[in-house]
Amino acid sequence: MTDQANPNLSALAAKTAQETGEFPNLMLKEIFEQPRVLREVVAGRLDQATNRLTLNEVTLTSEQLAEIRHIYIIACGTSSHAGLIAKDLIERWTDLTVDVQIASEFVFNRPQTANDTMAIAISQSGETSDTLNALRQARANNAYIIAITNVLGSTITVESDATINVKAEVEAAVPATKSYTAQLATLALLALYLGQERQTLTSDQVAEYYSELSELGDKIALVLSQPSLESITKAAQFTAEAKSVLFLGRGNSVTTCKEGALKLKETSYLHAEAFPALEFLHGPIALIEPEDATPIVALLPVDPNDDSMNNVFDRVKSYGARLVVFATTSATKSIQNADRVIILPEASALQTPFVTAVALQLFAHDIATSLNRDIDRPRYLSKVVVEE
Ligand code: F6R
């Protein structure tokens, strides 16, 4: 692998200043583009008269789609996190089973691809070597390949049977933000389409979930307004001096925690890990350093009546951790002992991974700002990871 550092950094800095407009950096600018991007991704996909979703990019007929038995999702980094949320949606809405594979490990996992297999390759850039190598292997074994990418004409689009453009437009900051939520929305549309075509969802269900997706732009706009912005900045300042930040969630939120931890590592160079909240008690809890008051960042379950994390909160606080909780208004009643609470807009189970991901993007951005990091060009990283 090679780090493709830009050889002309001063020219890049000047160009960046021009491109950031009213924002201090490109990452924040791109975070704020998400309401518009999400509205554009979702718009115009449902025929209101018939309640049928159209996804003309998928070239398989309904009969061919009915023959698919299994799906492999192959991706790296942030794109693999979008794949984990997509697995949950596809398995919830269809009778298909889904494996999410880190693309560079695909070859080691003895994938059983055949012509009843679909492979979904997710890549913002469409050029990531590990993803392309895995795609080629799936293709050699007769899988039908769908590329989910932000770059039309990229290598991944040339080598796939179908391409769905995530329509996030150019993403210039190295940390992926708007491309992630655009991938999530695109994959949610694909999952809905599979449920429709395989008749595992009714047309009313398709319309209902589509309507939830249509609200995403407004939900994210709320995360990006006061008082949420200010409370995230304060929580970030409260956390920035830490040596290590541990993220806890349950269900789909574990994936969002992984994405939040990745964003924090790359922008702030802080150690960050994500765990399923109850699994944290089975060993990782020993990572709490009382002298450091290790920050624990928790995403509450979607169900406001689920207080299953309270026991974990009591334990971590008793060992000297600092607790930062992201929660919707209705869930706040179940929070005990938190040092900081960030209130997020009410969201359905489908909308929550978007709302919480954007909140954690801001959290990582604000910590990196407190630490004076080069947010758009983190050390050692490049926008596209390709083989030498
Ligand atoms: C994280 C990040 C990386 C990429 C990964 C895959 O912010 O940007 O983890 O997600 O290198 O890149 P793509 O999606 O271009 O294949």
Question: Comparing C-alpha atoms, which of 223, 224, 124 is closest to residue 174?
Answer: 124
Tell whether ligand 1 has an atom less than 6 A from the beta carbon of residue 177: no
CA distances, 178 to each of 27, 172, 280, 325 (Å): 9, 10, 30, 23
Tell whether ligand 1 has an atom less than 6 A from the beta carbon of residue 183: no
Tell whether ligand 1 has an atom less than 6 A from the beta carbon of residue 378: no
Residue identified by tokens 């630490």 is 371
Residue whose CA lies nearest to ligand 1 atom number 4: 77
Residue whose CA lies nearest to ligand 1 atom number 16: 123
pTM (predicted TM-score)? 0.94
- pLDDT of the chain along its 388 residues, tens only? 333 444 444 555 555 556 888 999 999 999 999 999 999 999 999 998 898 999 999 999 999 999 999 999 999 999 999 999 999 999 999 999 999 999 999 988 887 777 799 999 999 999 999 999 999 999 998 999 999 999 999 999 999 999 999 999 999 999 999 999 999 999 999 999 999 999 999 999 999 999 999 999 999 999 999 999 999 999 999 999 999 999 999 999 999 999 999 999 999 999 999 999 999 999 999 999 988 899 999 999 778 778 889 999 999 999 999 999 999 877 776 677 899 999 999 999 999 999 999 999 999 999 999 999 999 999 999 999 998 6
Residues sharing a CB contact under 8 Å with residue 358, sequence separation 6 or more, in sequence order: 31, 34, 177, 181, 220, 223, 224
Residue identified by tokens 């004409």 is 153
Q: Which atom of ligand 1 lies at the shortest distance from residue 149's CA?
A: 14
**Alpha carbon of 81 to ligand 1 centroid (Å):** 10
Tell whether ligand 1 has an atom less than 6 A from the beta carbon of residue 83: no
DSSP notation for 162-221: EEEE-------SSS--HHHHHHHHHHHHHHHHHHHHTTSS-HHHHHHHHHHHHTHHHHHH
Residue identified by tokens 């008269």 is 49
Cα 25-187-325 angle, rounded to 5 deg:
55
Cis status, amide bond into 301, omega within 30 of 0: no
Q: Tell me, rounded to whole angstroms, the distance of Cα 286 from its chain centroid.
A: 28
**Alpha carbon of 9 to ligand 1 centroid (Å):** 21
Q: Which atom of ligand 1 lies at the shortest distance from residue 263's CA?
A: 7
User: What is the three-class DSSP state of 101?
Assistant: strand
Tell whether ligand 1 has an atom less than 6 A from the beta carbon of residue 157: no
Tell whether ligand 1 has an atom less than 6 A from the beta carbon of residue 123: yes
